[in-house]
Amino acid sequence: MADRVIDLDETATHTGPKGVINDWRRFKLESMDQDNLPPAKKELLRQMSSPGRPKDDTRANLNRKMSVQEYELLKEEDEGCLKKYRKRCMQEMHDKLSFGPKFEGVHDLDSGEAFLEVIEKEHYSTVVVVHIYKIGVKGCEELNNCLDCLATEYPTVKFCRIDAVSSGAAERFSDEVLPTLLVYKAGELLGNFLACTQHLNEEFFATDVEAFLNSYGVLPEKELPGVEDEEENDVE
């Protein structure tokens, strides 16, 4: 008796239910450890991938119907594979929605010219947070430590710091207004927070600084964890 068939007509990858099914089917085949599969399953995989077909028959190959044997093979161990597939789709979606460069750590600016350059020449979609500090002024060292933490949480934000003296504007940024946080995007000043630690508790942490900046809406949405990071957490 001929195998009952399941219709998996291809439309377009990620387009409509059938497109998603075929994308999942392709991912399932690619993720299988074919070296350790029994011979019977290897033969099914060979038939499903149809290596002997002409190159110009790729679409016909995708449009062909799937036998019950093939369906049962794809269905096995679906839970773990489906989790990986979901993570990959989330990462792809996130990558498509992410624009502009990414950064690591807090950038130290050594002059007023460097300060102006980072404001005027940075990518138009990048939020730039500049901490103007002075060694010995209360709260400056703690805020620097907080920004080090936030830089890892917001890689699309460019965090910078500059000594008030090095900025060439020591008179404007006196000890009374330090630490100061300036926030820019596309060359426009979004936030000018003088003596910003006055708005925080005596003892504050990175989450407090984050909440303060978010209260003014100057930080973007946090980055989604990468697929690799989530997989590591699952193992743990």
Do 204 and 111 have their domain in common?
yes
91 and 133 both lie in a single domain: no
pLDDT value for 87: 78
Task: Provide, rounded to the nearest whole percent, the portion of the chain with pLDDT above 70.
Answer: 56
CATH number at residue 76: 1.10.168
pLDDT at 71 over 90: no
| Predicted local distance difference test score (pLDDT) of residue 103 | 92
Query: How much is the average pLDDT of 7-31?
Result: 53
* Higher per-residue confidence, 126 vs 74: 126
**23 found inside a domain:** yes
Residues 203 and 153 in one domain: yes
Instruction: Give the whole-angstrom CA distance, residue 118 versus residue 109.
Output: 9
Q: Which residues contact 198 (CB under 8 A, 6 or more apart)?
A: none
**111 and 91 both lie in a single domain:** no
pLDDT tens digits along 149-180:
999 999 999 999 999 988 888 888 999 999 99
Report the range of poorest mean pLDDT among 65-79, 118-132, 190-204.
Answer: 65-79
- Let me know whether 188 and 142 are in one domain: yes
Paired sense of beta strands 107-109 and 158-163, if any = parallel
Instruction: Specify the number of domains making up the chain.
Output: 2
Q: What is the pLDDT of residue 51?
A: 46
Of the candidates 56, 61, 68, the one whose C-alpha atom is nearest the C-alpha of residue 22 is 61
- Token couple for 103: 């950064």
Asked if residue 178 lies in contact with residue 170, where contact means CB atoms within 8 angstroms, the answer is: no
Minimum mean pLDDT range among 91-105, 124-138, 146-160? 91-105
Nearest Cα residue to 61 out of 73, 69, 53:
53
Say if residue 221 is exposed, middle or buried (CB neighbours under 10 Å; 0-12, 13-18, 19+). Answer: exposed
pTM (global) more than 0.75? no
Mean pLDDT across the chain: 76
Same domain, 138 and 78: no
205 and 121 share a domain? yes
Query: In sequence order, which residues have a C-beta less than 8 Å from that of residue 111 and are 6 or more positions away?
Result: 166, 167, 168
Same domain, 190 and 114: yes
Does residue 9 sit within a domain?
no
Pair (74, 130) in one structural domain: no
For residue 83, the enclosing domain spans 16-52+66-95
Give the CATH number, domain containing residue 144: 3.40.30.10
Whether residue 88 is found in the same domain as residue 159 = no
Q: 196 near 137, Cβ under 8 Å? A: no
Among 77, 96, 74, 87, residue whose Cα is nearest residue 22: 74
Please report whether residue 29 resides in a domain. yes
